[in-house]
Amino acid sequence: MNFRKYISIFLFLSATGLIMAATHPGLFLTPKGVKEIRSSLGKYPLFDQSYNELKKIADEALVAEIVVPQPKDGGGGYTHEKHKKNYYEMNAAGILFQITKDKRYALFVKDMLFAYAAIYPDLGLHPATKSATPGKIFWQALNEAVWLVHTSMAYDCVYDFISEKDRKYIEANLFYPMCEFISNGNPENYKVFNKMHNHGTWATAAVGMIGYVMGDKNLTDMALYGSGKDGKTGFIRQLDVLFSPDGYFTEGPYYQRYAIWPFMTFAQVVQHQQPELKIFEYRDGILLKAVDKLLQSSYKGEIFYLNDALRKTFKTQEIVYAVNIAYKNNPKNKSLFDIVGQQGDFIVSDAGITTAKAFYREKNKPYYTYKSLFMRDGQNGTEGGIAIVRNSNTPDATCLTYKATSHGLSHGHYDKLSITLHDNGNAVLTDYGAVRFLNIEPKYGGHYTKENYSWGMQTIAHNTVTINETSHFEAKIDVSSEFHPEILYHDFSNKEVQLISALEKNAYPGTEMQRTTAMLNHAAFEFPVVVDIFRVKSPQVNRTVDLPFYYQGHMVSADFNYQKNTVELKPLGDKNGYQHLWLEANGKTDKPQACFTWVKGDRFYSITTLTDASSELMMTRTGAGDPNFNLRQDPAFMIRRHNTANHTFVSIVEPHGLYDISKEVTVGYRSNIVSLKLLADNEMISVVEIVTADNKTLLFAVNNQTGKSENKFDYRGEQYVFTGNYLLKLITNK
Amino acid sequence: MNFRKYISIFLFLSATGLIMAATHPGLFLTPKGVKEIRSSLGKYPLFDQSYNELKKIADEALVAEIVVPQPKDGGGGYTHEKHKKNYYEMNAAGILFQITKDKRYALFVKDMLFAYAAIYPDLGLHPATKSATPGKIFWQALNEAVWLVHTSMAYDCVYDFISEKDRKYIEANLFYPMCEFISNGNPENYKVFNKMHNHGTWATAAVGMIGYVMGDKNLTDMALYGSGKDGKTGFIRQLDVLFSPDGYFTEGPYYQRYAIWPFMTFAQVVQHQQPELKIFEYRDGILLKAVDKLLQSSYKGEIFYLNDALRKTFKTQEIVYAVNIAYKNNPKNKSLFDIVGQQGDFIVSDAGITTAKAFYREKNKPYYTYKSLFMRDGQNGTEGGIAIVRNSNTPDATCLTYKATSHGLSHGHYDKLSITLHDNGNAVLTDYGAVRFLNIEPKYGGHYTKENYSWGMQTIAHNTVTINETSHFEAKIDVSSEFHPEILYHDFSNKEVQLISALEKNAYPGTEMQRTTAMLNHAAFEFPVVVDIFRVKSPQVNRTVDLPFYYQGHMVSADFNYQKNTVELKPLGDKNGYQHLWLEANGKTDKPQACFTWVKGDRFYSITTLTDASSELMMTRTGAGDPNFNLRQDPAFMIRRHNTANHTFVSIVEPHGLYDISKEVTVGYRSNIVSLKLLADNEMISVVEIVTADNKTLLFAVNNQTGKSENKFDYRGEQYVFTGNYLLKLITNK
């Protein structure tokens, strides 16, 4: 494909389009910011460090040869990484030129832009044909938009340095063709540009930002209001649609982190260029809400693994952008300084210097307050949601997540009602996240591996119920995307009992699954425990109903007999994720409950779970069916119920004891639970009895309905009544 | 067994023994120290913190009931942990009494001593019959000695508070019987007391310390000079025998850490009580040398895993003791402040307060200088040794260990010529260490598990050669203990080439194994690389010769075809450790070398190794043959040569590239080596040719003999001559 034909069209369009007057730089860095940064250097060590890192990138770029290679490699490969490096270098050099006025930086940006302008019009689609929306410089158009976001900032910084003639050349041969390619280069790109999806956010931000630099209202209107400029698509519409009213991003926290980058960056640009739009106040401050919810979706500074997710911390540049810009546009939020302190990094921009100055000036730096919360999913907040339940507001408190959201677009997993648990600073019960080695070319080009579909997305990879070894919605995204669980209630008002209950009726047609999960903070236990009641109600007898708990740590003991496979391992099944599980051991018990204990960090953890004659207890590990070493070796304790129509799993996850390997002190390696019973279980209520080793009896009753009707049950000849969603009662043993 | 009979004997002995005059406290804490601590509180925050932790232990003890349970449980069990807690509490309360003069603390110690005195005479041997040297309070006499070390300090602190009559009662019913039991309670205990072993150090320290407190020269002489008081055994003799002249402890660094505790503690007591012995100058300052070598035997503050070893950091109390006492007795060594800063903890004692005051006063706190060194093993330094090779003096430099020591007593492994590698702050090539869950009672009572013998100690668990699936010395400790490798040379004088070569002739009778391992720091590579030449010379054809590399991280790629076992795993063998390895994959290659790449932290690592038609390439993982979930799942890349008499393995371990998951930047995921050849390999020299991707050719020749004769070889028509141990030459390709 030859793009020279577009050039004349765009020269025409830009000549007829409304050209806005513009100050340069005025995009992300402004003359005010430049002045502030100049007068601040040497005063704020962490800001200096961020500046020096940028300067190092720019200075190294100055002395190296400019190389703009012919696009060839996918993510992680040479040309891919080189083009990324190029935009980082231009961005750094542009900023350095503004701060230092050293023309060598500006010249570098100009020369590199010329090098790109020289090849861009002749570039066809990228040769690595791994994306439905290929780019030209990169294997996917997404990266092309990211390139343009960064390069726009660089161009803005050197705009006045470049002669008008040279600018015309660059704009005609590079920026206009690229805008055309990103927004309309082929039907797929047009769709993405107008799609309610984070790729669309990058695309609109890119076109909008270069539009502002070039003073082209045609482009900025397209960016803000979509190709039709009617507001049916575009950046503003994305703000309406892509976040729930609570600020939850439907793809989950990992992609919320990624999406927040173009959202906040472009919003900051809009705020500079069109302050009358009050973009940070739009939809009741949706962007600031989204940043807050992103920060809440974390444990010890690490973003939760839910849906397709890899390890990401607060230190990533996108969260540095988000926090700096959030502070700049809401300087009352001093708790952000806690996050800033953890990041120790700033953007070299107006937002960054404002944040850095305030951070150093402010003596009162309150901790960021983590809290229990429920985030609704869906544009209107009506499509289920996710609960984050914390025992206290510290970063290393016991923390339960309970996911009952909608599917989450292409990065969603078949994980209805799945839970994870963090405690004592560690991940304890985990979601596998994504099977991907981002940017490692030999690992399937750095893309999501095949095992991401065959394992990561499947239901059995999650701490929730799989029936008949088949994933929710048979792992069909079209079907899964039509439904969402029904939230019955959530209640975090009493720190002693925080709980959530949701109902999923569609994952297995005809079958109802209800999970009620509570964090109990009661003196009968050393630490908070999780009581988990998972009800399955099916019209037919199912061959298998499985509830796994993927734990982190090393197995310590089990109170049931098990047989470990020592001379041969076989997979647990042959499809739907089961082909990836080695069956390490299985067992049974005659007792009414089974207890499985492991150690993680300096603490022990036990799961005590109800069992009967039809229960099988299994220990599995991932890694089977994995020809290319893509999987980790994660262990699980799994409860399997055979030949089941209706069944209720009751499990208690209990942190206990101390394993201090430094002082060689061990205490409390045994679970404190000696008996677990399900006393009642019907459409109205479930009642659980827990007896501890020191002979305390706890009754815990939960409501199985939405709405708070009066519920009653008898126990040891006495009647108990509750009208809320639960009753927790310590019984004095006589 | 009833010990009341001993009481009268001991009253007689102590009445006739020379009773020394003594000041109290005078053992570990002295009146001078008490005064200094009192006047220092509130001035040194980290010392205050240590003091407050001690005070918290003592204060909690004051308000709790004194419980001295009938001994019953093994390590990790209730009575074991309770008796440990008791001595920590007495120790804390004793010190607190001295600092605060609050009599409640002294009364607590006295009451608890009475409680012990009430039961001790009637105690038989501990009912958990898991030790050849059982204790009475604890399952092994060792813990009894540790109890007495701590309790001696407590008794010293409250000595003057207790009436003479009460002291007589406590001494007659508790301390004298305990000294008798530890030093002579049965033939095994007598042997331990007089043994050249760290258990003997605890025993002599315990008896010596209580001896000093009670002013009983009989006991202190026995402690210093052995049961026969002739210096043939005892603490002084241990100083002669248990460390090599370089300060290496033959059991390895993990047990050096443990042994250093009674050594330094008792030495400090001797220094206080008998300064004329100049104990810290003894044997050319062997104790201070030992502390230095222990600190060197670490990476980023974590002690190396060699022989039976678990995770231990500089923060363990024993290393806090060692560093405080070492500083107190050699205040010129300011580099210890670096370690002190990492520990952030002090002993509340004379040594502790001296160190704390100096630490806070001293502005010049040089970094502790890690360096390349060779430590000779054996009392006379003639029994092989261990090399620690570092690329620089920083804690996270590239660091190679090469172990060619004697067996290492009962905690030794069959690991002749084994290596490990650390780099970039991470363990990269690892030694499994011990298979043990210290103090976790359900894990084989907290003892070394059966798998420690069947796996951890076996040769195949180490990065060295196993022949015919049989461990060195057929894993017979008596045989292994008779031999040690011959060190041919080691040379760390040139940072560009640091290397060591050793020869092992006895591990497989008739077979010679020579390993020459070098760290090359050359501009041809981004980071230092390890070149490893392992020569095996056998009189017979061996079925298999295996060289595994146990790596940490995730497999990225291999440049050879391999078949991964996806639907069934089988162990690699059925004995000598092989029963614990799942064979995950195996492959072959037609190329003259194979390359295996993985990622750890933000860096890639490749092993490029010579191959031929008889070479099999295997990927294994531990975890087979493990009925009780005692093993981790550690992966290895293993080179197997079939049907081999003489064979030389040549492997290059190469760190490369960058994998920054936060910034999503990946560079250099491929090895930089495109060709590896062994050009010459004979009794005189081995010559390796390495060609890099950017077409540099490196010639690396090593001497295979001890002594620096002149060596020659031809290459591309030119003669190369070298007289040292190596030649490294960059060849300009024409």
> What secondary structure, in 3-state letters, does A508-573 show?
CCCCEEEEEEEEECCCCCCCCEEEEEEEEECCCCEEEEEEEEEECCEEEEECCEEEECCCCECECC
Q: Please determine, for residue B298, whether its predicted confidence score (pLDDT) is greater than 70.
A: yes
* Residue A557 tokens, joined: 């003991």
Q: Give the pLDDT confidence score for residue A19 in this predicted structure.
A: 53
The kind and range of the H/E element at B119 are: helix B103-119
Q: Please determine, for residue A74, whether its predicted confidence score (pLDDT) is greater than 50.
A: yes
Q: Give the pLDDT confidence score for residue B20 in this predicted structure.
A: 56
Closest by CA position to A203, among listed A225, A188, A223: A223
**Which residue intervals of A101-229 are DSSP H helices?**
103-119, 141-158, 164-170, 176-184, 187-193, 198-214, 217-225
* Residue B148 tokens, joined: 């007495």
- Answer yes or no: are the C-beta atoms of B50 and B324 closer than 8 Å: no
Q: What is the pLDDT of residues B687-699, one digit of tens each?
A: 999 999 999 999 9
A317, A566, A659 ranked by CB distance to B440: nearest = A659
* Residue A708 tokens, joined: 């708070």
Q: What is the CA radius of gyration of chain B?
A: 28
A663: confidence class by pLDDT, cuts 50, 70, 90: confident
Q: Give the pLDDT confidence score for residue B246 in this predicted structure.
A: 98
Q: Round to the nearest angstrom and report the end-to-end CA distance of chain B.
A: 86
Mutate to test the interface with B, among A60, A87, A628, A656 (most CBs of B within 10 A): A628
Q: What is the CA radius of gyration of chain A?
A: 28
Q: Return the CATH fold of B373-731.
A: Beta-galactosidase; Chain A, domain 5 (2.70.98)
Q: Give the pLDDT confidence score for residue A734 in this predicted structure.
A: 57
Contact A554 B669 (CB under 8 A): no
Q: Please determine, for residue A43, whether its predicted confidence score (pLDDT) is greater than 80.
A: yes
Q: Which CATH architecture has domain B4-242?
A: Alpha/alpha barrel (1.50)
Q: What is the mean pLDDT of residues B263-284?
A: 98
Interhelix angle A176-184/A141-158, nearest 10 degrees: 150
B312, B626, B666 ranked by CB distance to A76: nearest = B666
User: Which has the minimum average pLDDT: A21-25, A219-223, B292-296, B600-604?
Assistant: A21-25
3 state SS of B578: helix
Q: Please determine, for residue B660, whether its predicted confidence score (pLDDT) is greater than 50.
A: yes
Contact A567 B661 (CB under 8 A): no
A446, A556, A568 ranked by CB distance to B568: nearest = A568
Contact B564 A627 (CB under 8 A): yes
Q: Please determine, for residue B38, whether its predicted confidence score (pLDDT) is greater than 80.
A: yes
A1: confidence class by pLDDT, cuts 50, 70, 90: very low
Q: Give the pLDDT confidence score for residue B733 in this predicted structure.
A: 66
Indicate the burial class of B710 (C-beta count within 10 angstroms; 0-12, 13-18, 19 or more).
Answer: exposed
A-B Cβ pairs (cutoff 8 Å, strict): 138
Task: Find how far residue B490's CA is from the centre of its chain.
Answer: 22
Amino acid at B667: V
DSSP single-letter state for residue B506:
T
Amino acid at A713: F
Which residues are registered as beta bridge partners of A513?
A: A504, A536
Q: What is the pLDDT of residues B672-726, one digit of tens each?
A: 999 999 999 999 999 999 999 999 999 999 999 998 789 999 999 999 999 999 9
CA A622 vs CA A572, A580, B161, B277, B675: distances in Å: 10, 6, 63, 61, 36
Q: Give the pLDDT confidence score for residue A16 in this predicted structure.
A: 44
CATH class of A1-10+27-201: mainly alpha
Q: Please determine, for residue A482, whether its predicted confidence score (pLDDT) is greater than 90.
A: yes
A9: confidence class by pLDDT, cuts 50, 70, 90: very low
Amino acid at B329: N
Q: Give the pLDDT confidence score for residue B9 in this predicted structure.
A: 45
Strand-strand pairing, A647-656 and A658-660 = unpaired
Count of CB atoms within 10 A of residue A4's CB? 10
Query: Sign of the CA dihedral B192, B198, B199, B204?
Result: positive
Q: What is the pLDDT of residues A161-192, one digit of tens each?
A: 999 999 999 999 999 999 999 999 889 999 99
> Distance (Å) from the C-alpha of residue A167 to the closest C-alpha of chain B?
30
Respond yes or no on whether the N-terminal peptide bond of residue B31 is cis (omega within 30° of 0). no
**Mean pLDDT for chain A overall:** 95
* Residue A579 tokens, joined: 């082909």
* Residue B598 tokens, joined: 């993985």
- Answer yes or no: are the C-beta atoms of B631 and B580 closer than 8 Å: yes
Per-position DSSP letters for A557-623, written without gaps between them: EESSEEEE--S-B-BS-SSTTGGGEEEEEEEE-SSSEEEEEEEETTEEEEEEEE--TTEEEEEEEE-
Q: Please determine, for residue B537, whether its predicted confidence score (pLDDT) is greater than 70.
A: yes
Q: What are the domain boundaries of chain A?
A: 1-10+27-201, 373-731
Q: Give the pLDDT confidence score for residue A3 in this predicted structure.
A: 47
A556, A627, A667 ranked by CB distance to B81: nearest = A667
Smallest CA–CA distance from B312 into chain A, residue? A662
Respond yes or no on whether the N-terminal peptide bond of residue A571 is cis (omega within 30° of 0). no
Show the 3-state SS of B270-334. HHHHCHHHCCCCHHHHHHHHHHHHHHHCEECCEECCCCCCCCCECCCHHHHHHHHHHHHCCCCCC
| Long-range contacts, B486-491 (Cβ 8 Å, 24+) | B486/B384, B486/B706, B487/B374, B487/B384, B487/B385, B487/B404, B488/B514, B488/B516, B488/B703, B488/B704, B488/B705, B488/B706, B489/B703, B489/B706, B489/B725, B490/B374, B490/B387, B491/B724, B491/B725, B491/B726
3 state SS of A42: coil
DSSP single-letter state for residue A125:
S
The kind and range of the H/E element at B236 are: helix B235-241
Indicate the burial class of A124 (C-beta count within 10 angstroms; 0-12, 13-18, 19 or more).
Answer: exposed
Q: Please determine, for residue A63, whether its predicted confidence score (pLDDT) is greater than 90.
A: yes
Contact B566 A316 (CB under 8 A): no
Interhelix angle B45-63/B78-100, nearest 10 degrees: 120
Q: Please determine, for residue B600, whether its predicted confidence score (pLDDT) is greater than 70.
A: yes
- Answer yes or no: are the C-beta atoms of B60 and B92 closer than 8 Å: no
Chain B residues with beta carbon closer than 8 angstroms to that of A437: 554, 556, 599
Contact A566 B624 (CB under 8 A): yes
Q: Give the pLDDT confidence score for residue A11 in this predicted structure.
A: 45
Chain B residues with beta carbon closer than 8 angstroms to that of A73: none
3 state SS of A79: helix
Per-position DSSP letters for A390-452, written without gaps between them: ESSSSTTS-EEEEEE----GGG--S-TTEEEEEETTEEEE------B-TT-TTTGGGSB-HHI
Amino acid at A28: F
Q: What angle do CA B600, B603, B607 make, to 5 degrees?
A: 75
B19: confidence class by pLDDT, cuts 50, 70, 90: low
Closest by CA position to B531, among listed B408, B343, B685, B687: B687
Per-position DSSP letters for B455-500, written without gaps between them: IITSGGGSSS-EETTB-GGGG-HHHHTT--PEEEEEEEEETTEEEE
Prediction pTM value: 0.94
Q: How far apart are the C-alpha atoms of B153 and B266, rounded to whole Å?
A: 11
Catalytic residue positions of A, numbered? 255, 411
ipTM comes to 0.93
Q: How far apart are the C-alpha atoms of A602 and A600, rounded to whole Å?
A: 6
Q: Give the pLDDT confidence score for residue B16 in this predicted structure.
A: 44
Q: How far apart are the C-alpha atoms of A319 and A339, rounded to whole Å?
A: 9
Chain A residues with beta carbon closer than 8 angstroms to that of B312: 661-662
Q: How far apart are the C-alpha atoms of A29 and B290, rounded to whole Å?
A: 58
Smallest CA–CA distance from B78 into chain A, residue? A667
Which residues are registered as beta bridge partners of A689?
A: A677, A699
Which residues are registered as beta bridge partners of A534?
A: A515, A649
Chain B residues with beta carbon closer than 8 angstroms to that of A60: none
Contact A662 B627 (CB under 8 A): no
| Long-range contacts, A57-62 (Cβ 8 Å, 24+) | A57/A88, A57/A89, A57/A92, A58/A89, A58/A92, A58/A93, A58/A95, A58/A96, A58/A105, A58/A108, A61/A89, A61/A92, A61/A93, A61/A108, A62/A93, A62/A104, A62/A105, A62/A108
Q: How far apart are the C-alpha atoms of A42 and B413, rounded to whole Å?
A: 55
Chain A residues with beta carbon closer than 8 angstroms to that of B140: none
Q: What is the mean pLDDT of residues B381-395?
A: 96
Mutate to test the interface with A, among B447, B628, B629 (most CBs of A within 10 A): B629
Q: What is the pLDDT of residues A362-393, one digit of tens each?
A: 988 889 999 999 999 999 999 999 999 999 99
Q: What is the pLDDT of residues A117-139, one digit of tens each?
A: 999 999 999 998 878 899 999 99
B311, B584, B629 ranked by CB distance to A661: nearest = B311
Q: What is the pLDDT of residues A505-555, one digit of tens each?
A: 999 999 999 999 999 999 999 999 999 999 999 999 999 999 999 999 999
